[in-house]
Chains A and B, each alone.
Chain A
Amino acid sequence: MSSIPSYATHKPETSCRCSAYLDWLQMLTGACLILFMLMHLLFVGSAIISPSLMNGLSKVFEWTGMAQIGGPVIFFLLLLHFVLAARKIPFASKQQGIMIANARRMHHLDTWLWVIQAVSGMVILVMGSIHLWTVLTNLPITAQKNAMRLQDSRAWIGFYIVFIPMVWLHTGIGFYRIMVKWGIVGIDGRPGLRKKDALIAATAMVIGFMTLWRFVFLSIN
């Protein structure tokens, strides 16, 4: 029940700081990914205003090497964040059941949000990998290429219809979780934060879908 072992562990009685470091890393990788997602939103969202604006930005990323280096770095962060967070997600279905049963019994929003977080996290791991792989193996990113990919196959449209909400649910809840878990927002601030956070995530989702819409109907020539 505690950190003090009640049996011989063959380990010297010194404190291990690993839990603390891993928690730091989980939070920091999450925060980096949130920042990245916001910039990513501005980048692809620029296509709503003008596809050539997006292409111009894309060129800058390409010239500065941000796409070639930053892309794989984000991929690595995604994997690292997943592994770190997965330590907290029960692998045994019995324990998963306990979590869901508790959320249901208590009608407890925050426990439900955790369940969403765990599920969307796993979906993002798979879909995010596919998305990153597809985009990064076909640099530079241009609005026309995106449009072509989407217009060629309905499956890709379906893919993003699932992927976009998953990303923003996870990002939104993740931000909220960092703020409350690390004591940045106090007890009274929690409902307000939840509302503001939901608003931002919803806005991001809408912009995401508008971009998708734009690409689907963009004339390629």
Chain B
Amino acid sequence: MARMLTFNIFRYNPQDSASFPHMQEFRLEETESMTLFIALNRLREEQDHSLQFDFCCRAAICGACAMVVNGRPGLACHTKTKDFPDKITLMPLPVFKLVGDLSVDTGTWFRGMAKKIESWCHTKKVFDPNAQEERMDNALAERIYELDRCVECGCCVAACGTALMRDDFLGATALNRIARFILDPRDERTEKDYFDIIGTDEGVFGCMGLFGCQDVCPKRLPLQEVLGKLRLKMAFAAANNLLPKFLRREVRL
């Protein structure tokens, strides 16, 4: 027997002056291997054409479909209804600007973040289109790739108590991005350059270690480890000039 699912969905269209934030109930019969992607599309097709939500890849690659499912941020296309009770509450991600209903604008936030942490390889080398690409050790390339898997869905930010309280907090995804550039030998930024970006209470020292980020990241990025090592690295970067030689440490990520 297929279950009858009850969806409680946040509705609000900021473009429409008659609209006000409220929850709307929908009912839908569960089908095999149903994801929230399938459920939401059917609701829009069969029950309410005005329902707004974002999807693109439907394979956990683009990061567009993040929303709060029964209290926890996650990717809707990656979430099976069978893992949930028959009552499912869907809310838009907090922190980000609401476009309407379940759709939020993560793009502006991530673009701002990328600009602030200067999310690109800083190098003085002049690019030579004829030269062969420089080789990188495979193990290192894989470690960089591991952190590069972030799909910018925003779940880690939406789950972070610190980010919710303080909009100047960089968030796990930004710190993870910096870690990725620290690992990358092509980026010529020094430890001090990195410290200037994240060695503050808005950066790694603002993180209170609640690991909401780690527990919700749909790509299972090792955020907890990255944040821990970054904290240690930045803490020693600041303390090394005060410490006697034998206590100094250069922390490697």
Contact = CB atoms under 8 A, between A and B. Distances in A.
Contact of A111 (B112, B203, B212): B212
Contact of B231 (A21, A88, A182): A182
A110 B239 contact: no
B207 interface: yes
Contacts of B166: 95
Interface stretch (A135-143, A155-163, A183-191, A210-218): A183-191
A108 interface: yes
A111 to B, nearest CB: 5
A114 B161 contact: yes
A99 B161 CA distance: 6
Interface stretch (B27-35, B180-188, B222-230): B222-230
A127 B224 CA distance: 34
A181 interface: yes
Contacts of A180: 209, 211, 224, 228
The majority secondary structure among interface residues of chain B is helix
B159 interface: yes
B197 interface: yes
A177 interface: yes
Contacts of B68: 105
Contacts of B151: none
B215 A108 contact: yes
B168 A1 contact: yes
Contacts of A99: 161, 164-165
Contact of A102 (B192, B199, B212): B212
A3 B197 contact: yes
Contacts of A15: 192, 195-196, 199
B214 A102 contact: no
Given A15-B192, A98-B161, A106-B212, A2 B117 contact: yes
B69 to A, nearest CB: 11
Given A3-B200, A24-B235, A181-B207, A106 B228 contact: no
B197 A2 contact: yes
Contacts of B227: 181, 183
Given A88-B208, A180-B211, A20 B228 contact: no
Nearest to B241: A17
Given A107-B71, A181-B231, A102 B161 contact: yes
Contacts of B202: 1-3
Interface string B169-194: 11000100000000000000000100
Given A2-B168, A181-B208, 6 more contacts: A22-B205, A23-B235, A24-B239, A87-B201, A90-B165, A114-B210
Interface of A: 1-4, 15-17, 19-24, 87-88, 90, 95, 98-99, 102-108, 110-111, 114, 177, 180-184, 186-187, 190
